[in-house]
Structures are given as C-alpha cells and as structure tokens.
Amino acid sequence: MKVILIDDEPIALELLKSLLSPYPDIEIVGAYTQPMVALKKMKDTRPDVIFLDIEMGSINGLEIVEYFIRERNSIEVAFITAYSKYAVDAFEINAIDYLLKPIQQKRLDKTIKRLRDRFNQKEKPAEEIDNCLKVDCFDSFHVMDSKGRPLIWRTKKSKELFAYLLVYKTTPIPKDVITERIFPDKSLEQASTLIHTTIYQIRKNLEKLGFENSILYYNGKYQLNVPIDYDFDRLKDILDCNHHDPQDIEEIINLYKGDFLKYEGYHWALGIQADVKQSVLDILIHFTNTQLEANSRSFILRRTLEFLYKIEPFDDNIAENIIQYYAQQGNSNKLKQFFRNYAQELQQELNIKPKESTIQLYKKHIESITKPLS
C-alpha cells in the first residue's frame, strides 16, 4: 500500500514514519507539512492511503480531504488529531480510522489491519469492469447489482435516503435538507444521529458489492458516488428533447412502467412523480394528435393510445383520440366496445357520464361508419 503523510508539524511526521516502519506492506511515498503540495503531487505519488492531520493552523483536514478524494476516488483516509470532538465528522467522510495523538503502536496495528482487510476486499476478483448498480424506479423501486441480485435494505430509511440521494446525485445535499425531507418528525439531534447511522448502513451495503466511497461528504453535504444504470435518467433524457420520433415514443412507453416510486409513499417524491407523469402525457398526447391528423395506421400509434388509456383511463382527450382512431380504421365493433367500456368505467368509478363533446364525437363517427352506402 502506497501511503502519504500530512501534518504541519515535522516532528509528528517523523514519529509517524517511525511508527509505520514495522509494516512491510506499507510504502511511504510522500510526507508533507503543506496539504496543497501533497495534492499537487498526487498524480506522481498515486497513494492508496492518506494519514491526514485535522488541525493544521488555518487549514482543517476535514475540509480539504474532499480534494484528495476527488483527485483519487479510491483513496482511504485515516485522520490524526489531538481532539476527539472530530470523530463524528470523520465518520461522515467514511474514513478508515480516526487516530488520537499521541499515537500508540497497538492502536496503529488496528488501523493497518483495517486497511489490509479493505484492500483484500478490493483485490478480490469482483466484477470491477462495467460494474454498476441497476435501478428501476417507475412503479416499483428495485436496486440490483450487475448480476441482477437485489440490494437488501436493513431499514426503510436507508432505502429512502438512498432513493433521495439518487434523484439528486449530481447535487451535494446539505444535512439540514436531508433532515427536513427524510426525518421531518425528529429533533435536530435525533435526525443528526439517524443520518450518521443511515449513511453508514448504505455505505456498508454498497461496499459489499465493491463500491468504495459510495457517498461523499464535504462542506456539510452528502453526494452519491456510484456508477448507476438508472431508468429515471434515461427517461428524463428523452423527455427533455425537443423532438420525439416513433423510437423515442416506444422507449418512453417501455421505461414508464408506472408512477415514480409509486409504492414507496415518500412525500418528497410526489412533486417529481406528478411532473414526470405530466411530461409523459404531454409528449404522448402530442404524438397521437399528430399521427391522427396524418391519418396514420401505424402500430406505434395504436400502442401509444392503449398505453395512454391504461395510465389515464378517465381522460376525455385520450378517450376522444381513441374514438377518432377506431373511426379512421372504420372499425365499428372496436369503436362500440371502447365507448361502452369507457362509459361503464366512468359510471362505476366516478359516478359520471362521458363529457357531452365525447358523446357527440362518438355518435358522429358511429353514424358515419354504419351509414349504408346509397
């Protein structure tokens, strides 16, 4: 393991070098009193581990460690300090250990053992290439590894917090926002403890699948840091386009299996759920309008109309488009069957009749189709 040491006290650096010398698998590739110098040399030293002092004059190791993690994502961090008050912060950053000065050899033995265990895990023949999580969030919420095995959640809150970080994965989320969204009924102190515990559970869960540093923590904010094949991202990419061809429409139908996180009951997800559904409806209805105007007989038009009726069975505009479609096909049997079923559903579920314009459209087309030729 390649190691760099950072402490603003030269004597402390020499002492740490001496303490690390008995371990044959530890190679010290740099020792620095200035953190930014160490950072600049990261590409040359390529360390696996950093022993980092927390209090270095005006520089706080907890604040600058994010730069080292960004430079080398797989790096392990062991913090060193004379104060125990930083333990929780170190925990949030997912440090491998937290050593109090003066460092004792026996205590350092434990740190080295943790590092060896961690690196032995990393070196196991795992699916490192193309290894990513697969996440489905429409209708049901499923998280699977690259072999299709489902992730098992220890608590409901660990599942919910993962889902929340996933939605905003390109944006670091402040701790107070997580408190408000995930633990709204808890005091600040209770929420803080629960966040620490829940983040730890998620990290450990993902660590078992080979994902190190799966949640970054810096400047009081958390950010998910895992490669993910996510149906939400794929759908959003299509929805955000200005033009949609039949292939795009088919992909929307394939991806949108139901409401976003439908069965999870997350209050923070309701706005996203409504926005995504409305975007899907707007695009698909626009597509069917265009196709009907062109008197299309395409399979994708029929499939889109069937899909729209499935997700919005009481929408007048969708019903009228289906009436228009069967009329253009000259299929009086399908037209009668659809209108009868539509009227029955409205009566049974909402205790209302079809809109007058829908009734008149149906009558006009059914008369046109069944009118005998003179």
Question: The domain that contains 113 carries what CATH number?
Answer: 3.40.50.2300
Beta-bridge mates of residue 4: 30, 50
State the average pLDDT over residues 341-362: 94
Tell me whether residue 58 is in a domain.
Answer: yes
Tell me whether residue 128 is in a domain.
Answer: no
- 64-84: per-residue pLDDT in tens? 887 888 788 788 999 998 877
Across the chain, mean pLDDT equals 90
What CATH number corresponds to the domain at position 183? 1.10.10.10
Q: Judge whether residue 374 has pLDDT over 60.
A: no
Domain count, the chain: 3
Quickly state the pLDDT bin for 283 (edges 50, 70, 90): very high
CA gap 96, 118 in Å, rounded = 9
In this prediction, residue 121 carries a pLDDT of: 67
- 85-110: per-residue pLDDT in tens? 776 566 667 788 889 989 999 999 99
CA gap 299, 305 in Å, rounded = 10
Question: Within this chain, do residues 236 and 225 fall inside the same structural domain, yes or no?
Answer: no
Which residue is listed with tokens 């488009």?
Answer: 321
Question: Within this chain, do residues 9 and 113 fall inside the same structural domain, yes or no?
Answer: yes
Burial environment of residue 331 by CB neighbours within 10 A (0 to 12, 13 to 18, 19 or more):
middle
In this prediction, residue 130 carries a pLDDT of: 54
- 299-339: per-residue pLDDT in tens? 999 999 999 999 999 999 999 999 999 999 999 999 999 99
Q: Please tell me whether the peptide bond between 102 and the residue prior to it is cis, using omega within 30 degrees of 0.
A: yes
Number of Cβ within a 10 Å radius of residue 204: 13
* Token duo for residue 50: 């950093």
Among 199, 229, 259, identify where a domain stops.
229
Among 92, 123, 154, identify where a domain stops.
123
What CATH number corresponds to the domain at position 311? 1.25.40.10
CA gap 325, 335 in Å, rounded = 9
Side chain identity, residue 217: Y
Question: Within this chain, do residues 266 and 280 fall inside the same structural domain, yes or no?
Answer: yes
Any alpha helices (H) in the chain, and if so which ranges? Answer: 10-20, 35-40, 42-45, 61-71, 87-92, 105-123, 156-167, 175-182, 188-207, 231-239, 246-255, 270-293, 299-311, 316-329, 332-350, 356-370
State the average pLDDT over residues 281-293: 95
Q: Give the count of alpha carbons within 13 A of 257, CB side only.
A: 13
* Token duo for residue 173: 């989320």
Q: Judge whether residue 57 has pLDDT over 90.
A: no
Classified as helix, coil or strand, 77 is strand
Q: Judge whether residue 124 has pLDDT over 80.
A: no
Q: Which domain holds residue 61?
A: 2-123
Q: Judge whether residue 123 has pLDDT over 80.
A: no
Question: Within this chain, do residues 316 and 262 fall inside the same structural domain, yes or no?
Answer: yes
Answer whether 0.85 is exceeded by the pTM.
no
Backbone angles phi, psi at 185, to 5 degrees: -95, 10
Among 63, 92, 123, identify where a domain stops.
123
Contacts 24+ apart (CB under 8 A), 361-366: 361/320, 361/323, 361/324, 362/323, 362/335, 365/323, 365/324, 365/326, 365/327, 365/335, 366/327, 366/332, 366/335, 366/336, 366/339
State the average pLDDT over residues 221-239: 93
In this prediction, residue 129 carries a pLDDT of: 38
Beta-bridge mates of residue 96: none
Closest CA to 49 of 5, 13, 93: 5
In this prediction, residue 88 carries a pLDDT of: 59
In this prediction, residue 31 carries a pLDDT of: 96
State the average pLDDT over residues 4-30: 95
Side chain identity, residue 108: L
Between 119 and 270, whose confidence is greater? 270
Question: Within this chain, do residues 200 and 281 fall inside the same structural domain, yes or no?
Answer: no
Question: Within this chain, do residues 119 and 158 fall inside the same structural domain, yes or no?
Answer: no
Question: Within this chain, do residues 36 and 113 fall inside the same structural domain, yes or no?
Answer: yes
Side chain identity, residue 77: V
Question: Within this chain, do residues 73 and 43 fall inside the same structural domain, yes or no?
Answer: yes
Question: Within this chain, do residues 236 and 224 fall inside the same structural domain, yes or no?
Answer: no
Burial environment of residue 24 by CB neighbours within 10 A (0 to 12, 13 to 18, 19 or more):
exposed
In this prediction, residue 142 carries a pLDDT of: 94
What percent of the chain lies above the pLDDT cut of 70?
94
Side chain identity, residue 101: K
State the average pLDDT over residues 267-278: 96
- 177-225: per-residue pLDDT in tens? 999 999 999 998 899 889 988 998 899 889 888 888 899 988 889 999 9
